[in-house]
Structure 1
Amino acid sequence: MPIANSRTESLQQAQFRAVQAITVKPEVLDESNPTRQVLTGLMKHGGVYTLLDTEMMTARLVPMLTRGSGAAAMSAEDASTFVNGLGNTMASFFQHLVPGKAYTIPSSLMSHIAFPGTGVSYSDPGLEQSDPGVFESPEVPAAFTFVGQFIDHDLTMNAVDLFEVQTDEVANTASPLIDLDSVYGANRTKLTAPFSKIFHADGRFRMVDRGGYEDLVRDEVGNALIGDQRNDENQMILQIHLLVMKVHNKLMAGGLGFEEAYRETLFNWQSVLLTDYLPAILEPATLAWLLGEIGKPDFGEFKYKPWKNLVDGKLAASMPHEFAIGFRFGHSQLRFGLRVNPGVGGMVRLFDNSLTSSGGKTSTGAVKNLFSDLRGSQELVAEHVIDWGTFLGGATPLRSNRIDGKVTSVVFDLPESAIPDDIKYIGNLPQRNLIRSRQVGLCAGEDLAKFYGIERLATRKIEPDEAAHHLYMEKGHFRTPLWYYILKEAEAVGGPKSSRLGALGSRLIGEVIVGAIGFAPTNVLAEPGWKSSVTGSREVSLLELAEWVG
């Protein structure tokens, strides 16, 4: 492929590195069909959204078509069939709530919102360090930021079954449901290889004792051997993943079988979302309405609904593009640093791209690619182990930043481990959100408000600077990127006294998450008599779950 420009060259070189990394992982590579399995591996970290970028997918295919070393090269015909299959999977996995209203966010507006150092969403790093309380939410725990990230991975896992060699037809095993498939995998009852790297033979999760705390099993370069590599992007979401594993293992130690332990773990997790997480981020009236509607025939007045397969009678749901982008409101909740346990003096930086690895070896002889920030894909160290009592409870629990139009400066230059694509060429998180919005043909925030019948936010609430209004104008109409609209709506509604989503954000986020629980074949809403083995009631908090596993 000719090198058309520096971006194409960067994409191609990134793919060669990604292929090299994938091929040294025996749990990913299948010798019977190595080329296709490498492509499957490349899908693991970046998901189906990468299929929307033609240049990106072309760059992915070039190394596949030219691989040597005795491996069978994929023909152009096979490559076309494979990519078309992935494209069809993506098309069935996602939907538009508001089709035909694509907003082609101009680059000038992207820069105005997301330019590092000067954009309207950029937080002053000096103030973040000297007076972090200025940005803090008065009621939302910092841990909930990473609960949101965990939910996102659960909902968007397994558009491709990463544990099976892909044949000419890519099966649609996508699961936009709260079913913990990012922890258990797409086929949780299959405990044979390569699932044996995740489960013991009896169905308990494998973990490594680091001397008083647990970590995930890792390969020789620090990558976690788990169902969804995204859950090791940072060491906060990693520990939520570990928490779920520990709940499952304790339930099995108490006498439950594998499937019974899965069901109880799932119900407890769904209860945490319904009774702890969602009440903290949604308008109370909206949440109450959603919980009433989900129990009605055909899910009441929900706008987001599944369809019934007339062959097997099962419900099938498609993920709204609007949710996939709008749910990234959690990026505004990220803090510059986190006090994860009392033994750490001060805050630990979330990400710091200026750091260099300390290198060295672990006790097992593996490479210890250790950075002192909270990035993922490295061994969990004692200094970064969450003290859940301090983090979620106590007199002064750590809070997230408010849901508003500001985003911490550290995510304008992400380390590679935190970028959910194999191609690491954009490290500016707000810009990534806006580019992705344009790629998927997302509507503007004002369009979605009209769809739901919700009063649109006044333009002055979004952009008080009269001189900047022209940046938002399209054909005479003021239009706001949906991701930024949801942030500004929350800011306008809550101000410094609250950090909940506004009417549009609450309806969109709440409807999809409540639906993702209610549409699941195994869900706590369909079991009114269930009570948690953790609390003895139907209400479970994240802190109670963490304290229960010790």
Structure 2
Amino acid sequence: MARSHFQGDHRGLAAAADGEFGRFGRMFGGLEGPEFDEGALAALATSMIKDDAGQFFNVADSDENVRLPAGYTYFGQFVDHDLTLDKTSIGDAEADPEAISNFRTAALDLDCVYGNGPGGDVILYDEKYRFRLSSHRIGPAPSGPNATRTQFDHRRDKDGVALIGDPRNDENTLVAQIHQAFTVFHNRILGTDALMNGVQSTSERFRRAARLARWHYQWVVLHDYLKRICQPEVYRDIVNPGGTPRLRLYPKPGDVAAYPYMPIEFAAAAYRFGHSMVRPSYALNAVVGTQQAPPPHTRVPIFRADTTNKLKDLRGFRRIPEHWGIDWSYFLELEGEAPDVQGGEGLLQPAYRIDTMLVDPLRLLVNPDLQGRKPIERNLAYLNLLRGSRLRLPTAEQVGQAMSVGSFPAARFPMLTPEQIWSAGSRNNASFSGSTGDAGIDAARDARRPLLDSFGANTPLWYYVLREAEWYGTWDPGDTDDMPAAERGGNDKLGGHHLGPIGSTIVLESFLGLLLGDPGSFIHQAGWRPMAPIAPTGTDNFELKHLIHWALG
């Protein structure tokens, strides 16, 4: 077997060769839930899809999450691909997660970008161990000196297949361009002598560049992404900024296993919150998806059933069309940059709320392996619920009871009652009879009320994670993370601006457990902080926007 480029810190081929590294396991010990009636799951999934084709570029949607720019939706997908690859199909899901192999390393190590390194994936690298880049231009000319744009597509074979470390990162135009940003990020680090610390040999320069790329990426995940998506009180309690993280669920390294594991409650439920953040359509830049663009002046859908015209949606596994390079000011809060649209219509596109509603395109997935199936079997909500059922994930009630013991931060926020679970809207919209004044909430509430009889005190964990985000995730303009929870979002009837207590706990414990279990992560480098020139001088909070801007700006 070829040598890994990450010998000594459990990366690449070295990790893949060990059958124990990164296996799935249960965070809550022996807790297993029931296998649900598939008819009840179908009814629940149907109630979770909203008829929403999106708005014109200059029209704000009520579903928008003002805390979270849309770029984080697809950064989250990129992170997921870095952590997990389960090759079992939905029909072959096993109730024993420890029997499922994870074909990604259970670490935030960018193995989805680096693949097996220059020694194992020679086609990805040049003789100086830089990523080979395409000359196929997809980005419009920058409009100013600070413009941050994706300029080039990936290298592709004759069939249009991207030559990258993880083919899944080409499954849509948006995550493909995040992947591209990280390849350029590596190359820029490698070419910046001030960051190389005098290292001269090609292999050692590669190792240092990869290490710095991983550490900056890990910092963004922990101190930017997770801080934005998790409940502030739970984030402060578990991350414990400035101190030692407080893990109560995820085994500390050395306690019970030689390697970190991937909690199935995280991978198959809690971390799937991102599906609700997907917008039905996006503008990419001033000439694709805006009022300034050619007719019909609408955002581009994520995908459509009609596949005859490649310019109709954002699906991947093909050459990215000309002019479809992302202007990142449409997806991230870049300092000094704003969407380049005439007439004052420019809007930074927020992600959608973390709630129990998925957009209409997710009702009927267009994946080739799903073609020919019944419509409900192509419904993403149904597929998530069915997979959780077949894996016998613990119910929300089982997890809530486990977290009610001791000092879990989640225990400070009451478990939702059955009446609250099988409804819709935030804690500020707690009327369970009559009209709430919001047609979407009314319809979802009316569709779910009968489901209490079907599920009783056994709520599917994925649905509950979304429902508590809706209930607890209230936020008003001007609110801050350090405000008491009861004072935030007093006028917000929709919620969903961040995860709730149970979802936040599972997500944070999983990420921190993986970082602590990785001896090569930045968390083991005492006092390390993002470095200049990657991090702007005087910046206390290094965020995704800084990484993307330095790589592409």
Mark yes or no: TM-score above 0.5: yes
- Distance of 1:138 and 1:172 partners within structure 2: 35
Work out which of the residue numbers 440, 457, 461 in structure 2 matches 1:482.
461
- Distance of 2:549 and 2:23 partners within structure 1: 40
- Is this contact kept in 2: 1:304–1:515, CA < 8 A? yes
2:419 is equivalent to residue 460 of structure 1: yes
**1:318 alignment partner AA:** Y
Aligned to 1:511: 509
**2:267 alignment partner AA:** A
Pick closer, same or farther for the CA change 1:128–1:481 going to 2, 3 Å.
farther
- Distance of 2:157 and 2:283 partners within structure 1: 28
2:213 is equivalent to residue 273 of structure 1: no
Q: Deviations over 1:209-242 (max 9, x none)?
A: 2235222121222121222111111111111111
**1:123 alignment partner AA:** K
Aligned to 2:360: 409
- Distance of 1:290 and 1:528 partners within structure 2: 19
Aligned to 1:203: 129
Work out which of the residue numbers 311, 318, 334 in structure 1 matches 2:261.
318
2:156 is equivalent to residue 226 of structure 1: no
SS at match of 1:279: helix
Which residues of 2 match residues 431-450 of structure 1 at below 5 A? Answer: 431-450=382-401
Pick closer, same or farther for the CA change 1:222–1:357 going to 2, 3 Å.
farther
TM-score (norm 2): 0.71
**Number of residue pairs matched by the alignment:** 431
**1:330 alignment partner AA:** G
Q: Deviations over 1:37-86 (max 9, x none)?
A: xxxxxxxxxxx9xxxxxxxxxxxxxxxxxxxxxxxxxxxxxxxxxxxx99
- Distance of 1:422 and 1:271 partners within structure 2: 40
Q: Percent identity?
A: 28
Q: Which has the higher contact order (CA 8 A, sep 6+)?
A: 2
2:301 is equivalent to residue 373 of structure 1: no
Which residues of 2 match residues 97-496 of structure 1 at below 5 A? Answer: 97-115=28-46, 120-125=47-52, 133-157=61-85, 174-185=104-115, 187-188=116-117, 191-192=118-119, 195-211=121-137, 213-255=151-193, 256=196, 257-292=205-240, 296=244, 300-308=246-254, 315-325=258-268, 326-346=270-290, 347-358=298-309, 370-393=310-333, 394=338, 396-416=347-367, 426-453=377-404, 454=411, 455-464=414-423, 471-473=451-453, 477-493=456-472, 494=474, 495-496=493-494
- Is this contact kept in 1: 2:353–2:495, CA < 8 A? no
Pick closer, same or farther for the CA change 1:539–1:219 going to 2, 3 Å.
same
- Distance of 1:219 and 1:142 partners within structure 2: 30
Pick closer, same or farther for the CA change 1:441–1:250 going to 2, 3 Å.
same
**1:324 alignment partner AA:** A
Q: Deviations over 1:330-373 (max 9, x none)?
A: 10000010112122243443433332244xxxxxxxxxxx4531
Greater share of residues in helix: 1
2:448 is equivalent to residue 521 of structure 1: no
Q: Which runs of 5+ in 1 are unaligned?
A: 1-29, 31-47, 49-84, 161-169, 359-369
- Is this contact kept in 2: 1:344–1:383, CA < 8 A? yes
- Distance of 1:262 and 1:438 partners within structure 2: 39
- Distance of 2:207 and 2:84 partners within structure 1: 22
- Distance of 2:299 and 2:31 partners within structure 1: 44
SS at match of 1:303: coil
Q: Deviations over 1:521-541 (max 9, x none)?
A: 222222233232311566321
**2:279 alignment partner AA:** R
- Is this contact kept in 2: 1:109–1:472, CA < 8 A? no
Q: Which runs of 5+ in 2 are unaligned?
A: 2-15, 89-99, 140-150, 197-204, 291-297, 339-345, 405-410, 424-444, 475-492
**1:226 alignment partner AA:** I
Aligned to 2:25: 94
Q: What do you get for the CA RMSD once the two structures are aligned?
A: 3.3
TM-score (norm 1): 0.71
**2:43 alignment partner AA:** H
Pick closer, same or farther for the CA change 1:383–1:302 going to 2, 3 Å.
farther
Aligned to 1:56: none
**1:373 alignment partner AA:** D
